Amino acid sequence: IEKKDLLYKGKAKEMFTTNDPDIMWVHYMDQVTAFNGKKKVQMAGKGQTNCEISSLIFTDLAKHGIENHFIKQLDSNNQLVKRVQIIPLETVVRNFASGSFEKRFAVKHLMKFDKPVTEFYYKSDELDDPFINDFEVAALKIATEDQMNQIRTIALKVNDRLKEIFGKMNIDLVDFKVEIGIDADGHLILADEISPDSCRLVDRDTKKSLDKDVFRKGLGALVPVYKEILGRLEKVEGVN
């Protein structure tokens, strides 16, 4: 397969077209950003750890019946994925209070929820990804009611499996974000990435963050933390 034109450059990845119209080439950059790009740093090794973590997770999710865009990892920083049309929503699932939830409702850090909380944000850099509800999604014709129900179902299935995987790594899955795309057949499938950039992960013993909060809060070097996640992930039976 041949890499062709740069179609989209995000904050952590570049997407290229290929000689196959149904396949995209994803390059994971050695860059980390936070606060909608206001904090940005180049970091050697970051692209590779994210690419490897996301490849392992997407492969595992497919084995557990969660259809997704991942085709294969090409080398340390590059993947092939199915071309999809991304629905411009960030779907967040929360198991414990943290981040924007904790701030908005002034609740105790890591308060455990009885059942997962699902939220949607409208993907827009100019608007800073505002919170959006189902009625607003319908009014703006971003997705149909049926698609919203499918998105929720996919996100909660991902949550169930991720909780299982991270549990085996002695980690609590606090929250995470997924993006869903529409494939060539019109099916909704999981897309984008799942990595410590898009999840909050807390070690059950030390209660330390093992995710991008280390960068957001300036708690120390990020890449060693991501490597720790990759190392533990590679030891999980069935995932490796």
| Binding region for ligand C5P (CB under 6 A) | 90, 92, 98-101, 129, 175-177, 198-200, 212
Indicate the burial class of 18 (C-beta count within 10 angstroms; 0-12, 13-18, 19 or more): middle
To which H or E segment does residue 33 belong? Answer: strand 31-34
60 or 90, CB closer to ligand C5P?
90
Residue closer to ligand C5P (CB basis): 17 or 102:
102
In the complex, the smallest distance separating the C-beta of residue 129 from ligand C5P, rounded to whole angstroms, is 5
- Rounded CA-CA distance 197/15 in Å is 17
What are residue 173's DSSP bridge partners?
A: 201
Residue 178 CB, nearest distance to ligand C5P (Å)? 9
Nearest residue to the partner ligand C5P, using Cβ: 99
Q: How far apart are CA 198 and CA 215, in angstroms?
A: 13
In DSSP notation, 162-200 reads: HHHHHHHTTEEEEEEEEEEEE-TTS-EEEES--STTTEE
Q: Per the structure block, which two tokens stand in for 11?
A: 């904050």
Cβ atoms 112, 20 nearer than 8 A: no
Q: Which is nearer to ligand C5P, 129 or 172 (CB)?
A: 129
The pair of three-digit structure tokens given for residue 107, joined into one six-digit string: 């609740």
Residue 119 one-letter amino acid: E
Q: Where are the alpha helices (DSSP H) in 9-77?
A: 46-63
Residue 167, CB-side half-sphere exposure with 13 Å CA sphere = 7
Question: CB 227 → ligand C5P: shortest distance, Å?
Answer: 18
Q: Please report how close the Cβ of residue 154 comes to ligand C5P at its closest, in angstroms.
A: 16
Smallest gap, in angstroms, from Cβ of residue 175 to ligand C5P?
4
Q: Which is nearer to ligand C5P, 83 or 200 (CB)?
A: 200
> Judged by CB, which is closer to ligand C5P: 63, or 104?
104
Of 69 and 177, CB closest to ligand C5P = 177
User: Least distance to ligand C5P from the beta carbon of 166, Å?
Assistant: 12
